[in-house]
Amino acid sequence: MTPPAAPGPPAPSSSAPREVFADPVAAAVAAHLALAPAASMQELAEAAGVSRATLFRRFPSRAALVAELCEAAAQAFVRAVQDAAPQDGPPARALERVVENLGRLAPVVGLLGLQPLSEHVETSLLERTAATEESLRRLVRRGQESGDFRVEVDPEWVLTMLTWLMVGAADGVRLGRLTAAAAQRHLAATLAATLHRTG
């Protein structure tokens, strides 16, 4: 990844941090991590407007902080996909709904995917999101069976693309190279170009 720019761009104006994270401290910390993924606990405390000691009482370690934020992000991913109802309606429109919902999360939670996690935490998160990921595989297969999506595109590749496009979108916003709206638009266009049949 490109090293952080200095000074960093302004924080995203989206209300996504408050929607995803349970309390104002977690929301503020997550918003700062979206702009400065390598931030120290001192920097995160300052961004949240609390003392370092207060932050450590809330999160006993940086690893615990990241694990809790990633847990909240995983829950938000599940909710976003469920709310998009990928099983309903024409596959192309269902995909649009999924990408629209996930695209709104990307600037805030995308770079959390690059934070180091213990094997136990990572396994737990994968288990939590497994059913949701399967619903996305089914959406791709449904579109392939209907003739809307290209049959040569592996559903696993779609999931991989979606994951790393969210990371890339978040980094583009962090560096000030893309607005959140532009990142979401390009994310949707890239997936559509990959999946949709032409002619």
CB-based burial, 49-83: b 16+ in 10 Å, e otherwise: ebeeeebbebbeebeebbbbbbebbbbbbbebbee
At 61-80, the pLDDT tens digits run 999 999 999 999 999 999 99
Domain count, the chain: 1
Structure tokens at 112: 């959390």
In a domain, 7, yes or no: no
Residue 83 within any structural domain of the chain? yes
- Residue 91 counted as domain residue: yes
My answer on whether omega of the bond before 7 falls inside 30° of 0, hence cis, is: yes
Range of the domain at 142: 16-195
The tens place of each residue's pLDDT in the chain, 199 residues long, gives 434 333 333 344 445 666 788 789 999 999 998 888 999 999 999 999 999 999 999 999 999 999 999 999 999 999 999 999 999 999 999 999 999 999 988 888 888 888 888 999 999 999 999 999 999 999 999 999 999 999 999 999 999 999 999 999 999 998 999 999 999 999 999 999 999 987 6
Inside any domain, residue 10: no
Q: What is the CATH number of the domain that holds 91?
A: 1.10.357.10
User: Tokens 């994270």 map to which residue?
Assistant: 21
Inside any domain, residue 173 = yes
The pTM score is 0.84
